[in-house]
Structure 1
Amino acid sequence: MSAREALSQVDCTKANATGTLRDSCNKDSIHAWTVDLCMKALQEICSTPVSNGTQSDRPSKLEVWGYGGLFVLLVSLSSVVGVFFLPLMKMESYKKVLMGMVGLAVGCLCGSAIFHLIPQAFQLPDETVPELEAYLFKALVIIAAIYAFFLTERLLKLSVDHRKRKKQLSRSRLSGIARESSPGNDTKVYSSSNGGHLEDYGHSHLHDPLKLGNGHGETMSDDSFDETRGQHCSNIHVKIPPSEVRTHQHEHDFDTVELKSHPIKTVAWMVITGDGIHNFVDGLAMGAAFSVSLLEGISVSIAVLCEELPHELGDLAILLNSGMKLKKALLYNFISACTCFIGLIVGILLGGMEEAQTWIFALAGGMFLYISLVDMLPEMTHTAEEASSESFKSGMIMLGIQNVGMLSGFTIMFLLARYARDITFEKT
């Protein structure tokens, strides 16, 4: 038997490994053995893999239930925090703050799925350190590609909107100059009974057609002015019914709370049911993550918290607009959030089964990616487009706020995954 073959059969984990090596030595193979030993040492064939979730490193049951229950309680309380934001919903800065929170949620959810949940689903933390680091940096490239395409699309849209706005402004200026220079402009003067004049410059701020009366019950619409251009009309009265008077105001979905007792729309019950299922899966992921390690559980919980706060604010607004009263909406929102406790219990119970853990992490990773990239990222895009349509400056400000939130979420999740082995929780 050659020296290499004899060495390959040695079990380095056994206590008699040195004796086996000594018995296999002879004068002819001592030189070859020295070379083989050096090569095997360099290849770390006798080193045990560094595991991120060995049985000795796992938290105790008290820590799992304690930390898990604490973070689930924080997630559930986020459902009633929305009542404190109701007075702020009328402020102009509210949408900017909300979009910053949505950006942070996108970064945390997407980062948690790619840096934490998917590796746990494929049991990558049980591999050696170089292999895990190689995955993390490749995953970072995936995140960078997602962010780069989002940023490029938004900048191109901003540029296109800015050019379109400049062209429209130049055209309106040219048309205004041409209208002023033409001999027959559209200025119309009408006489009224009090000797005043009604001047029409071709632009009206009224949303509805006006009814004009001559004092004898006869009415004429604004279209009839074309037939009477230049003629003197006496005793003209403008009649605007009180129901037709409209004030110019910006109406938001949750500026006011409807207190009328009318039937609750079906969308409210759909939101409550969907939110309950969503929170159950969140609790499932948190329970399984805390069963593996406290750091994994905290990282997943941070992602859930960052996503839940803006999500619950939106749900509260939908429930109020669907006809629910404020107290009832808060109650149902809290009840749907409490399903997270049920998910936590199931996740912890299944967390002791290694096969079940991987499937839970896979399910949670897919849900986190869907919510962040399909649900919340289009919302950011829509809000950025609205800001861009107003002005280039407002579009850039909104894009900057969203980028700060996204990059913060990505960075937090990457650092937690990269330095997970250096962060320990001392057991007292």
Structure 2
Amino acid sequence: MASRFFPSRRTGLALAAGCFLFSALAAANVRPGDLSVSQIEEQLQNCPLVESLNEHKRATTPETASLTSRIFAVLFPSTPAVNSLLATLYISGPPNFLLALCPPNIDPSSLSIMVAFAVGGLLGDTLFHLLPEIFLGEDSPDHVSFVMVEPNKNLLLGLGIMVGFFTFVAMDKALRIATGGQGHDHSHGHTHEDSTTASSTGANTNGQSGELKQRKSTKSAQEDGSKDETTEKEINPSVKMAGYLNLIADFTHNITDGLALSSSFYASPTIGATTTVAVFFHEIPHEVGDFALLVQSGFSKRKAMGAQFVTAVGAFLGTLIGIAVQEFGGHGDVLEDSTVSGLWGTSLSWGDMLLPFTAGTFLYVGTVAVIPELLETGKDKGAEIRKTLTQFLAVAVGAGIMLAISWD
């Protein structure tokens, strides 16, 4: 048991608070094993030494809330369940409406800077917010907090992170098998090249026919143009199938986003808000890239936008599943016979495992799924150096925003 306030005094505080706790329990004829973690925390707050630390902490805490805290309070004013649904609406609505401003022939590779910014946001949220919250909990502005070292609890949390990571490995592998070896991100570039080649071929055909038939009437030229358009719209079946498989992958990915939002808000309002920001940063290039792939697969701009709105339902589904797990997943409390009712003999519940699962998925998306795309280089060394510096700057800005929110 160790205090997370005044680290230089950590050992002394733990001993003093522990001595007070066991003295109080002995006076009340209560065994430590009869108490849950929350009840032990409550007993520790009654320790005179801890009470004095609480008074000092409240006296040194700024009276006025920070700007980010006030903004988050306006955006997320209710319970964790309601705030989770609001966050899902925020990350699903605006990015999809932005697609109306995107040209149909957008090149997904031009989104590399935006993707780098999203990577910084996802990794920043994972390293600055999620992982500290998973293993240590969140600090409170009103009182000092204690970390209860519980056998096998950290191991189970680490297992949850690994399960989340390899869940996305399995999803990516399945998609690569279904599309003949092309992953979700890399398929964007390949299909774009295919469609570009088809367009170029069509343009050359138009030029040749124009040279051979310069004296054709306007009506005949219009008829030939309509035939060329029909030829251009004939999409390779594998490319068209990749578009539909991408919709399935996008729907599944959005479910995990919803799980991430719900688990984060049940952990704390701050973690929920920062996770919403990170997911929002990621969703913009993700949605634009998927939109471009659908257009290249034969969708019209309107149908591609409609399909993206349909996949957004997955985020709400994931949020509702996460809320149900949190509300009905049970709580890991210590019973009167000193047996623990949580998972595998710990105080953890199924709801507590959603946040580690989220951290694992974020680690995969922010590293394995995206970093290879940022490592791709061209032959122009000077241009690649400038591009790399810009990408690193974008990563630093994304991570810096997460750090600033956490620090504030």
Normalised by the length of structure 2, the TM-score is 0.53
Contact 1:276 1:339 in 2 (8 A): yes
1:69 to 60, 64, 85: 85
CA offset at residue 267 of structure 1?
Answer: 0.9
Q: Distance in 2 between matches of 1:6 and 1:399?
A: 53
SS of 1:47's partner is helix
The residue number in structure 1 matching 2:397 is 408
1:229-250 CA distance string (max 9 Å, x none) = xxxxxxxxxxx964999xxxxx
Separation (CA, whole Å) in 2 of partners of 1:269 and 1:338? 16
Give the Cα–Cα distance (whole angstroms) in 1 for the partners of residues 398 and 241 of structure 2.
34
The letter for the 2-side match of 1:84 is: L
1:132-185, Cα deviation, whole Å (9 max, x unpaired): 9xxxxxxxxxxxxxxxxxxxxxxxxxxxxxxxxxxxxxxxxxxxxxxxxxxxxx
The AA in structure 2 aligned to 1:47 is V
Q: Once the 2 structures are TM-superposed, how far is the Cα of residue 400 of structure 1 from its aligned partner?
A: 2.5
- One-letter amino acid of the counterpart of residue 341, structure 1: F
Q: Distance in 2 between matches of 1:257 and 1:310?
A: 30
Do residues 11 (structure 1) and 1 (structure 2) align?
Answer: no
CA 1:331–1:47 in structure 2 vs 1: closer, same or farther (change >3 Å)? Answer: same
**Structure 2 unaligned residues grouped into runs of 5+:** 1-14, 28-46, 55-72, 149-206, 213-228, 332-348
**CA displacement, residues 240-290 of structure 1 (integer Å, 9 cap, x when unaligned):** 964999xxxxxxxxxx99983766721112111111111111111101111
**Is the 2:104–2:295 contact (alpha carbons within 8 Å) kept by the matching residues of 1?**
no
Give CA-to-partner distance per residue, 1:387-418, whole Å, 9 cap, x none.
xx2351x2233123212210012222223334
Is the 1:123–1:358 Cα contact (8 Å) retained in structure 2? no
Q: Is the 8 A contact 1:257 1:326 kept in 2?
A: no
Provide the secondary structure at the position in 2 that maps to 1:86. coil
User: In the alignment, does 2:267 pair up with 1:292?
Assistant: yes
CA deviation string 1:281-326 (max 9, x = no partner): 1111101111222211111011111111101111111111112222
- Report Cα offsets for 1:45-98 as digits up to 9, x if no partner: 953899xxxxxxxx99934344323321122121342231217937xxx966x2
The equivalent position to 2:298 in structure 1, one of 312, 323, 335, is 323
Q: How do 1:119-130 residues align onto structure 2 when only pairs under 5 Å count?
A: 119-125=132-138
> Do the aligned residues in 1 keep the contact of 2:258 with 2:319 (CA within 8 Å)?
yes
Name the CA distance, whole Å, in 2 between partners of 1:305 and 1:326. Answer: 22
Q: Does 1:397 align with 2:391?
A: no
**What is the RMSD of the two structures over their aligned residues, measured on CA atoms?**
4.3
Alignment of 1:378-397 (within 5 A): 378-382=372-376, 385-386=377-378, 389-392=379-382, 394-397=383-386
Q: Match for residue 308 of structure 2?
A: 333
Match of 1:83 in 2: 100
- Contact 2:257 2:318 (C-alpha < 8 Å) held by counterparts: yes
Query: 1:357, 1:9 → 2: CA distance?
Result: 32
Q: How does 1:245-256 map to 2 (within 5 A)?
A: none
Matches within 5 A, 1:123-142: 123-125=136-138
C-alpha separation in 1, matches of 2:405 and 2:230: 41
| Aligned residue among 350, 353, 362 for 2:356 | 362
Compared with structure 1, are the counterparts of its residues 242 and 82 closer, same or farther at alpha carbon in structure 2 (3 Å cutoff)?
Answer: same
Q: Quick one: which amino acid aligns to residue 361 of structure 1? A: L
1:365: Cα distance to partner? Answer: 0.8
Partner AA of 1:288 in structure 2 = S
Task: Provide the rounded CA distance (Å) in 2 between the counterparts of 1:302 and 1:273.
Answer: 24
Which protein has the larger Cα radius of gyration, Structure 1 or Structure 2? 1
Residues 200-250 of structure 1 deviation map (CA, whole Å, 9 limit, x = unaligned):
xxxxxxxxxxxxxxxxxxxxxxxxxxxxxxxxxxxxxxxx964999xxxxx
Separation in 2, partners of 1:11, 1:367 = 39
AA aligned opposite 2:370: M
Indicate how the Cα distance of structure 1 residues 403 and 15 shifts in structure 2: closer, same or farther if over 3 A, else same: same
Percent identity between matched residues is: 25
Judge conservation of contact 2:136–2:147 (CA < 8 Å) in 1.
Answer: no
1:81 counterpart letter in structure 2: L
For residues 402 and 393 of structure 2, the distance between their equivalents in structure 1, rounded to whole angstroms, comes to 14
Say if 1:46 and 1:333 are closer, same or farther in 2 by CA, change over 3 A: same
Distance in 2, Cα, partners of 1:278 & 1:112:
18
- Contact kept? 1:107, 1:408, Cα under 8 Å: yes
Give, in whole Å, the separation in 1 of the partners of 2:290 and 2:280. Answer: 15
In the alignment, which of 116, 129, 135 is matched to residue 103 of structure 1? 116
| Cα displacement string for residues 72-125 of structure 1 (whole angstroms, at most 9, x for unaligned residues) | 1122121342231217937xxx966x2221111101111212222223333443
Compared with structure 1, are the counterparts of its residues 357 and 314 closer, same or farther at alpha carbon in structure 2 (3 Å cutoff)?
same
Does the aligned pair in 2 maintain the 1:276–1:336 contact within 8 Å? yes
Match of 1:47 in 2: 50
> 1:71·1:301 contact (CA, 8 Å) conserved in 2?
yes
Q: Secondary structure at the match of 2:298?
A: coil
Letter in 1 for 2:354: I
Inter-partner Cα distance in structure 2 for 1:258 and 1:121: 55
**Following the alignment from structure 2 to structure 1, what is the Cα–Cα distance between the partners of residues 241 and 135?**
40
Alpha-carbon distance between aligned partners in 1 of 2:390 and 2:362, rounded to the nearest angstrom: 22
Residues 11, 358 of structure 1: CA spacing in aligned structure 2 closer, same or farther, 3 A cutoff? closer
Change in Cα spacing, 1:108 to 1:418, as seen in structure 2 (3 Å) is same
1:281 matched to which residue of 2? 256
8 Å contact kept, 2:105–2:292: no
The AA in structure 1 aligned to 2:90 is L
**What is the one-letter code of the residue matched to 2:133?**
Q
Distance in 2 separating the partners of 1:359 and 1:14: 33
Cα separation, partners in 2 of 1:374 and 1:9, compared to 1, 3 Å: closer
